[in-house]
Amino acid sequence: MTTVTEFAPAKINLTLRVGLLGRDGYHPLESLVVFADTGDRLSFHSAPDLTLTIAGPFGEALGAAADNLVLRSARALLVASGKKAGAHIILHKVLPVASGVGGGSADAAAALRGLNRLWGCGLSDIDLEKIGQALGADVPVCVQSRTRFMSGRGEVLHDVRCWPVLDAVLVNPGFGISTALVFSRFDEMGHGEKLSGKPFAGADDTDQAISQLQGFENSLSAAACALEPRITALLSTLNALPQTQWARLCGSGASCVAVVHAAQDAKELLEKIKTAYPQYWVKPVKLGVQASP
């Protein structure tokens, strides 16, 4: 095998509850995670050395390739598998950077999957998830890129009994926000929650899903909005539009997601957001799909 391709779908935390900072320096969390039908694409080509080329509309925003999470994933896989191999990796960056939609984590997971195939490592998804734990809290759930409920530091993954595919719109206001800064402000505000420890019950259809989501807030939303008031304005706009059934901050921001009833509602919402915020990145999506390359 000389070339492998992988799709790295956007990761959306539909629910996100964050606990108080632990003695280990980490925050426990509980989150219902779904994946969208939009994302980055990676290709892996046999080569003597390990190199990375970044392209795409958001490629320049990633900065120096040497510290990219994709290369860190590749090196971690080499260590775990005992392989001695190289690859030229091309990352086509479609998702905004530092936007809360798990682009970096999804890319890292895609690198683990793609290079596992290219190099013939023969590792299972469970093996790759364990490697991903050392790369970032969101990497393990991105390995299989399917609807899961995650807890702990992101390493405890539960299957969700049933969850419908939802129509939605993703909006990024054209700037990133530091996850570290959001968590720092979160700690200052003392907003850590007592977590339930119970897996998410699931939902059978769109109406039931929306009803369940109404009972959840994003624990990081207040901190992100305090750091960047434009997020507050965007959420207010989304929630005021008739097509929106439910809207929240994505992860630590700065992107937001609005769930609607149907694809036509997503198209109408897109037009309204484009009119109100012509410079923003706006994308109608399906959430809860298990996408393939």
Q: What SS3 state is found at 79? A: helix
| 25 and 139 part of one domain | yes
Q: How far is CA 21 from CA 17, 140, 186, in A?
A: 13, 21, 10
Per residue in 151-196, pLDDT tens?
999 999 999 989 999 999 999 999 989 999 999 999 999 988 888 7
| CATH number (domain holding residue 194) | 3.30.70.890
Model pLDDT, residue 178: 92
63: left (phi over 0), alpha (psi -120 to 50) or beta: left
**pLDDT value at residue 66:** 47
User: What are the pLDDT digits (tens) for 39-76?
Assistant: 999 999 999 999 999 999 998 887 655 468 999 999 99
Catalytic residue ranges: 11, 138
Whole-number Å distance between alpha carbons of 138 and 123: 19
Q: How far apart are CA 225 and CA 85, in angstroms?
A: 45
What pTM did the predictor assign? 0.95
* 14 within some domain: yes
The residue from 97, 128, 159 where one domain ends is 159
183 and 124 share a domain?
A: no
Tell me which residues of the chain have a pLDDT lower than 50: 66, 293
- Please indicate, yes or no, whether residues 222 and 134 belong to a single structural domain of this protein: no
Amino acid at 180: A
55 with 130, same domain?
A: yes
State which of 131, 159, 187 marks the end of a domain.
159
Contacts of residue 223, defined as CB under 8 A and 6 or more positions apart, other chains included, come to 182, 183, 185, 186, 189, 191
Residue range of the domain that includes 103: 3-159
Instruction: Tell me: do 137 and 223 sit in the same domain.
Output: no
